[in-house]
Structure 1
């Protein structure tokens, strides 16, 4: 069952690019020669509650003097043969075609009159050839503008480019207007600034799993001022959950975990918008809700939850953070090495399959109906130890990373995944591995395919 409190506003067309692709594009465009350079992006497409999203899937770099040459009516232009080959690939692979070049400047980006004239000469024919969306993107180091020509004959401007890396980069044609923060968030705005606090209000974040870690994450996100939360969990509260769920009361036993999460979120922020899905994450309603988000918090530890969130991260280019706690206790009651895991799931980088964090056998069992799944397991599952203070470490690390990423306060743009060992105080940074031609996180598979049918399945 899914419930939406309100319909979020549209924000126009946007482009999202995986960090590895974007880093390669920036290196190609912004060199020390102070010259103009070109490329083509082939992009998938996804439709969400706030507007359509282009998803950068492949980058075709135009070599200076060979593919990017002196123009006849402008300074530089893509060579016709390069355009033809890229357009035919766009048609064959059913991807949008975006020609890219750089301008000089910082906080604003605009097409020149010569640029617009070239679009009007060439894009109607190019649109007929590709039978897909075609357009152009112009970039400065801190801004982006786009001119999009749709197959139905309409034309739109690009509102935003997003790069979901260690920091969440958002590029617009010009700086956005900033509103004064609500007085409730005055102390936070002193750190983030009004622009940073406003960014939280525009975010749509999902929490998958509303148990020990997810309950705390929901509370933190609501108090941070996140504008819209998507809450996903099919479970009910039992007596053993009460010590680990924020603000849980004895009368909550038997109620849905989503009910408690809604109550806590609205208590923390009466203005928050909520989408509530009382299903497991693999349910179509849950998956539809996820693909409209800006960030996902994975606080459920089933292999099914890992697989479907991981798939969403790469297919729709939505960043996520996995947060959890492992408390090993053997049959003699000896406590092992407790660890808190906070993993950043970055679109286009190593997925959970590449890092051997999903078991195919357990995934198959998780996908069975409840009764069949219980019968398929030879040994009854024994609940693992769980303590709210340990859960708070995982939730706090996860939300802190999100908070710093959204406001650009990280000191680097790298991967912020780590293991914490509370008994020793040790922290270990994690680096994801990526398998060549992975079916999840590479262009050989579902990366940036969006709503298109997957070309390959596991």
Structure 2
């Protein structure tokens, strides 16, 4: 097996393929009855250029849909292309034809491939009114040729598969300049290309309290290039025991500003975007141009909208939390520190019963009305910096290994639950409801969703 290049994010058009569709595509392309396919993909904005998000895989069966070609070895049949193009037009999505070549680490279109694009894609672009193009895959590599509705033509910068490892595939292995000597000790683990991957990433952090402030510190010291910081709260005196970087002089300051100061002290070249806001229906768009999202806010509203962004925009994320059980008589019960990977299409927060509908409804009310609806003033939960650090270190380690492709299993989305009082550590596999409106598999005559 060829080790994947640790490609830093590239500028230009990208194609993101959910892990489930990617696995189905791989199985089909390399099966006896496969050989070609079409992906339908919708277009959204991204941090470095337009993103195509694959929604549907239409497999072409060998011998009927994928046949001997007039000019090349094999080709998609005219009827298959017509039907797939009409589906793309109806859905208002891009049409991407896919096939595979042999080899590993590098791939490019053959002269026959490119000639077929020039013969057929101008007409397909006219039929669909959308982006049309082709994708060729090899082991650890991908190349794309896109024909845009405005009449121009471009290449795919990369193909992204957000799984347990954040796979980035390009036509050739990445090259990276020498890293800052200050990062020498971690570059010995990640390599220059791995360090470059961090520096080119935009990461969103929702919630800048005890857990979120630690995430800011860790990511800045790892060398992440840009952070998008979101929290509507200000520093209070009872935050100081666990709010990294805060002092008594910061009481009353927005948590976003304190977090920004922490990030700049750790990494003077970091780019920062601050949003003094909660994550909700009018602010969700502020973090949709990120490469990764950390959810460190524990409201039902924040969970719902972060979950929605992960699933609808195919942006991987991580939810972190700590729960300390205190009984009515003051006895301390179980303590949980949890890290939940939020992998698009792998069983979302709704599927796993982690969003309460009543609390979500209350979160949409003005604060004074929500408090009245709950009848009682909320009692602050216990919070200790070391317990937060336990969950945050696990979360940032997961991110770090995913970005540099160091997880041993590409598709393991299990959460990590640590119980400090008993020193137990469990892996919890997510449940997935096939009928889920966010991550389920709708009825379709294609494979995947």
TM-score (norm 2): 0.94
> Structure 1, residues 180-227: CA drift from partner, whole Å, max 9, x if none?
110110000011111111111111111100001001011000000000
**Contact residue 18 and residue 56 of structure 1 kept, 8 A:** yes
> Structure 1, residues 93-115: CA drift from partner, whole Å, max 9, x if none?
11111000001121111111111
CA-based RMSD: 1.6
Larger mean CA deviation between 395-404 and 47-56 belongs to 47-56
- The partner residue of 2:391 within 380, 386, 394 is 394
Partner of 1:269: 267
> Structure 1, residues 142-187: CA drift from partner, whole Å, max 9, x if none?
1111111111111111010001100010001111221111011000
Are residues 220 and 277 of structure 1, via their aligned partners in 2, closer, same or farther at CA, if it must alter by over 3 Å? same
Partner of 1:4: none
Q: Distance in 2 between matches of 1:70 and 1:396?
A: 54
Partner of 2:17: 17
Q: CA deviation at 1:375?
A: 2.3
- The partner residue of 2:52 within 31, 51, 54 is 54
Task: Work out whether 1:183 is the aligned partner of 2:181.
Answer: yes
Secondary structure in structure 2 of the residue aligned to 1:109: coil
Q: CA deviation at 1:36?
A: 7.9
Where do residues 43-442 of structure 1 align in structure 2 (5 Å cutoff)? 43-282=41-280, 284=282, 286-413=283-410, 414-442=412-440
Secondary structure in structure 2 of the residue aligned to 1:336: strand
Secondary structure in structure 1 of the residue aligned to 2:326: coil
**Contact residue 36 and residue 76 of structure 1 kept, 8 A:** no
Q: Distance in 2 between matches of 1:95 and 1:61?
A: 17
Larger mean CA deviation between 169-178 and 295-304 belongs to 169-178
Q: CA deviation at 1:348?
A: 1.3
Secondary structure in structure 2 of the residue aligned to 1:28: helix
**Contact residue 45 and residue 55 of structure 1 kept, 8 A:** yes
**Contact residue 401 and residue 416 of structure 1 kept, 8 A:** no
Q: Distance in 2 between matches of 1:277 and 1:106?
A: 43
Partner of 1:455: none
Q: CA deviation at 1:334?
A: 1.1
> Structure 1, residues 240-273: CA drift from partner, whole Å, max 9, x if none?
1000111211111111111110000000000000
Q: Distance in 2 between matches of 1:103 and 1:329?
A: 59
**Contact residue 37 and residue 68 of structure 1 kept, 8 A:** yes
Q: Distance in 2 between matches of 1:388 and 1:329?
A: 17
Q: Distance in 1 between matches of 2:335 and 2:441?
A: 37
> Structure 1, residues 303-349: CA drift from partner, whole Å, max 9, x if none?
00000000000100000000010001011101111111100111111
Partner of 1:449: none
> Structure 1, residues 123-149: CA drift from partner, whole Å, max 9, x if none?
111112111111100010111111111
**Contact residue 36 and residue 101 of structure 1 kept, 8 A:** no
Q: Distance in 2 between matches of 1:437 and 1:146?
A: 33
Partner of 1:454: none
> Structure 1, residues 228-249: CA drift from partner, whole Å, max 9, x if none?
1110000011111000111211
Count of residues in Structure 1 that have an aligned counterpart in Structure 2: 435
**Contact residue 47 and residue 291 of structure 2 kept, 8 A:** no
Q: Distance in 2 between matches of 1:36 and 1:101?
A: 10
- Give ranges in structure 1 of 5+ residues lacking alignment: 1-8, 446-458
Q: CA deviation at 1:86?
A: 1.1
Q: Distance in 2 between matches of 1:11 and 1:282?
A: 29
TM-score (norm 1): 0.92
**Contact residue 166 and residue 416 of structure 1 kept, 8 A:** no
Q: Distance in 1 between matches of 2:223 and 2:131?
A: 36
Partner of 1:456: none
Partner of 1:30: 30
Q: Distance in 2 between matches of 1:443 and 1:147?
A: 28
